[in-house]
Amino acid sequence: MSKRYFAAATLLACAVAGSALASDASDLGGKLTPVGAERAGNAAGTIPAWDGGITTPPAGYKPGGDYVDPYAGDAKLFSIEKSNVDQYKDQLTAGQRMLFARYPEYRMDVYPTRRSCALPASNYEKTKQNVGVAKLDPASSDLVNAVPGGLPFPLPQSGAEAMWNHRLAFEGVGRNVAGTSAVVDESGNFVPQKWEEVRLSTYYNPANTTFDALNNVQLKYFTIYTEPARLAGEEYLVHETLNGERNAWIYTPGLRRVRRAPTLAYDNPSSGYEGLATNDQLYMFNGRLDRYDWKLLGKQEVFIPYNNYAFASSAHRVRDLTKKNFPNRDLVRYELHRVWVVEANLKPGIRHLLPRRVFYIDEDSWRVVATDIYDSQGALWRYQEETTVNAYDVPTCFSFGQTFYDFQVGRYILDLAYNDDRRPDFHAEATGGATDDMFTIGYLRKRGTR
């Protein structure tokens, strides 16, 4: 089997080419999937055709419980290790190759590719309506028009358009989660950072049928830290905009007051992460695109974490996931998938700590699943990777863990781990777990002072 993967190691596009640029809206749902991915598999047979993904929960799934692994019976095909990594180098990101170079014990277990990602039918309809309608500001790359409820650019013509698909990847209308972040030291130890977050998507609220109805708000979210003591009680409120700067506020327990938080953006250090991550590294990338020039390089076949139901299971605690140097190799499933490759280079005269980034965007979910990050000297500095699961009760593909590596200091962060906490609620707008009154300054103040 591994020889087939080696034979298929190829860059699918060296410049902006690929199927999407030769397609139009009529191809969505035909030779392309409803979100613009190639429906067909690859020539080697190592990537299958998309058959609709998982749209209903498998037998045994109970709402509010762990996601049942529909692929639990899959046998591992092979492992990529230091001894054979050169055979697969063309299907690895620069960050993955660095992990093999630095850590002789690092490995990637490869399983059959399962194109499980799916979205509700209404999202497909709105995505098709966006072809020729969604627009970006050419100077800032802000979104200035779109049909709410669908991906804006299923046939991307630029890197910025592809990144907007990531920014607007569907994750349900309302979401209520409690999770853990772990800043892991050189010995594999960490102090758990516990937090709760509630999100409400204005863009995917079915009541908003026009772009103007959004009032320039993509989504609203509220985050509170509960552990450790040095962070407990710190709260954030964010109104993420579609164009212009985001609106953000912070409640600090020591000051006992709410204030604006303009630094909650770009390359300002993310709270609690000990300088190992910038604010716009969270969720693989978030915020405005205006500081970079974005280039769509084309597509590539890459081994990425996919269908990681074991990694997401509450049977494995966060302590089980976090090992020295990298997360537990026994719990991460890799598959070969096609990804869009987008290169971001800092605009001349603009400041940002991370001058060059290369993003790998899964064609089926439009989620950034890996990122190579370079320093001002052109050396690889950081690497990010997402472990994806199909939350088929929605349905949507969603991150159940993101890893941030810093090669200069030799440490990593495991973020968005829900293993030790209640299962994510992706229907919070219906269950009362995400209501519009939660996203006001008054609510933030009330939560902080009670």
Tens-place pLDDT, residues 166-217: 999 999 999 999 999 999 999 999 999 999 999 999 999 999 999 999 999 9
Please tell me the predicted confidence (pLDDT) of residue 12.
54
Residues 6+ apart with CB under 8 A from 421: 177, 178, 179, 180, 194
Residue 8 — very low, low, confident or very high, per pLDDT cuts 50/70/90? very low
Global pTM value: 0.96
Tens-place pLDDT, residues 260-282: 999 999 999 998 999 999 999 99
Name the residue among 421, 446, 445 with its Cα closest to residue 197.
421
User: Is the confidence at residue 157, as pLDDT, over 50?
Assistant: yes
User: Is the confidence at residue 3, as pLDDT, over 80?
Assistant: no
Please tell me the predicted confidence (pLDDT) of residue 255.
82
Name the residue among 380, 386, 384, 374 with its Cα closest to residue 404.
384
**Listed ranges 7-16, 227-236, 313-322; the one with the highest mean pLDDT:** 313-322
Give the domain range for residue 271.
2-449
The answer to whether the CB of 77 falls within 8 A of the CB of 47 is no
Bond from prior residue into 395 cis (ω within 30 degrees of 0): yes
How far is Cα 20 from Cα 31, in angstroms, rounded to an integer? 10
Name the residue among 94, 82, 100, 78 with its Cα closest to residue 325.
100
Tens-place pLDDT, residues 84-108: 999 999 999 999 999 999 999 999 9
CA distances from 28 to 119, 168, 198, 210 (A): 14, 18, 33, 22
Longest dimension (CA), the chain: 62
User: Is the confidence at residue 159, as pLDDT, over 60?
Assistant: yes
User: Is the confidence at residue 30, as pLDDT, over 60?
Assistant: yes
Residue 23 — very low, low, confident or very high, per pLDDT cuts 50/70/90? confident
Please tell me the predicted confidence (pLDDT) of residue 39.
98
User: Is the confidence at residue 228, as pLDDT, over 90?
Assistant: yes
Mean of the per-residue pLDDT values of the chain: 94
Tens-place pLDDT, residues 336-394: 999 999 999 999 999 999 999 999 999 999 999 999 999 999 999 999 999 999 999 99
% of the chain surpassing 70 pLDDT: 94
How far is Cα 300 from Cα 94, in angstroms, rounded to an integer? 13
Residue 240 corresponds to which tokens in the numbers above? 């993420």
User: Is the confidence at residue 308, as pLDDT, over 60?
Assistant: yes
How many structural domains does the chain have? 1
Residue 275 sits in a domain of what CATH number? Answer: 2.50.20.10
Residue 13 — very low, low, confident or very high, per pLDDT cuts 50/70/90? very low
